[in-house]
Amino acid sequence: MRNLRRLWSLSWPDRGLLAMTCLRKALVLRRLLSRQGIAADLCIGVRREAGRLMAHAWLELDGVSLDEPAVGRDAFQPVLGAPEGR
């Protein structure tokens, strides 16, 4: 689990045509994990911040977020959970 969290936290490019948003990051990492036989769930959540609706995507493995601490399920209300292979 620790190595997976380390992989999630790697510095990803955040500029240019294919800026690595949280959703793209989650989808790419989910695909990489799937190729290794690891089924991670894609989660999308929302929260209100200063009157604005904010959204975030992250991966969970066995109910544990691979995202940074205090992000993901701890900071966002999940609105979608897409288990791998469904």
Given a cut of 70, whether residue 69 has pLDDT beyond it is no
CB-based contacts of 6, cutoff 8 Å, min separation 6: none
Give CA–CA dist 46/72, Å, rounded: 9
Name the percent of the chain lying above pLDDT 90.
Answer: 33
Note the pLDDT of residue 48. 93
> What is the per-residue pLDDT across 71-80, written as a single tens digit (0 to 9) for each?
777 788 888 7
H helix runs in the chain, sequence order: 2-8, 22-35
Which pTM value belongs to this model? 0.72
Instruction: Give yes or no for a contact between 72 and 65, defined as CB atoms under 8 angstroms apart.
Output: yes
Which residues, at least 6 apart from 36, have a Cβ–Cβ distance to it below 8 Å? none
**How does pLDDT run across 39-57, given as a tens digit for each residue?**
999 999 999 999 999 999 9
* 60: phi then psi, degrees, rounded to nearest 5: -125, 145
